[in-house]
């Protein structure tokens, strides 16, 4: 069964700076994390996904889908996970950790743009556990995405939110500017 719906989506854009390759970006990120160590302290940390994080990531991914009242097929979830761990893919993910517990996620991807010479970054998914909202997790995940995009040479970061998500908009209005664009979507059967 295919669900089709139209939503007004608000687009937010955040300017960043220039661009190396996806593989080089992953290598730099991996080297930095190895130098800093992967120990999860009691303070919140944002760390790039690793293959062993799937069990921690899955409840957040399901929570994100529940929030938007969708149930994506397992093949979509498996494909997303595989892409985020594949050094040849321009798709990335990170988790917010509070001690040993994953409390938020961000997914983002780099792509070409007809209005810029360099690539841009689309922040595709952002989610924090409901009981952890208002504690700076969303802002930290956005900052992680923006830093990664800037380090990769992207010229900007942009994202969408649903028009009814006023809680998210309150944060987004503090960290970026509304572009004024409205998104339209058309599904293919």
Q: Which residue bears the tokens 């917010």?
A: 96
The span from the CA of 118 to the CA of 110, in Å, is: 10
What is the residue-averaged pLDDT of the chain?
84
Answer for the pair 77, 69: CB distance below 8 angstroms, yes or no. Answer: no
pLDDT at 132: 94
Q: Dump pLDDT digits (tens) for 57-111.
A: 999 999 999 999 999 999 999 999 999 999 999 999 999 999 999 999 999 999 9
How does strand 120-128 pair with strand 156-162? parallel
Rg (CA), the chain: 16
The span from the CA of 100 to the CA of 86, in Å, is: 25
The span from the CA of 169 to the CA of 179, in Å, is: 13
Residue 36: pLDDT above 90? no
pLDDT at 5: 38
pLDDT at 112: 97
pLDDT at 183: 87
The two tokens of residue 102 are 């994953």
> Per-residue DSSP letters for 127-160?
EE-GGGTTSSHHHHHHHHHHHHHHHTT-SEEEEE
Residue 182: pLDDT above 50? yes
pTM exceeds 0.75, yes or no:
yes
Distances 97 to 25, 58, 65, 105 between C-alpha atoms, Å? 22, 14, 20, 9
Length of the chain: 189
In degrees, to the nearest 5, what angle opens at C-alpha 45 toward C-alphas 44 and 50? 135
The span from the CA of 157 to the CA of 143, in Å, is: 10
Query: For the chain, what percent of residues have pLDDT higher than 90?
Result: 72
Higher pLDDT, 176 or 2: 176
């Amino acid at each position: 069964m295919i669900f089709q719906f139209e939503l007004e989506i608000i687009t937010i854009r955040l300017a960043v700076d220039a661009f190396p390759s996806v593989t080089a970006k992953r290598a730099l990120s991996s080297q930095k994390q190895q130098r800093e160590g992967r120990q999860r302290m009691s303070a919140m940390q944002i760390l790039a996904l690793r293959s062993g994080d799937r069990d921690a990531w899955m409840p957040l991914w399901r929570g994100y889908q529940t929030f938007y009242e969708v149930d994506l097929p397992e093949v979509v979830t498996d494909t997303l996970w595989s892409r985020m761990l594949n050094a040849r893919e321009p798709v990335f993910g990170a988790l917010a950790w509070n001690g040993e517990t994953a409390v938020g996620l961000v997914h983002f991807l780099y792509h070409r743009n007809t209005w810029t010479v360099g690539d841009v970054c689309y922040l595709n998914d952002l989610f924090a556990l409901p009981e952890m909202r208002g504690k700076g997790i969303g802002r930290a995940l956005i900052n992680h995405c923006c830093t990664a995009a800037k380090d990769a040479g992207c010229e900007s970061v942009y994202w969408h939110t649903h028009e009814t998500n006023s809680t998210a908009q309150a944060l987004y209005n503090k960290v970026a500017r509304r572009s004024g664009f409205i998104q339209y979507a058309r599904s293919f059967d």
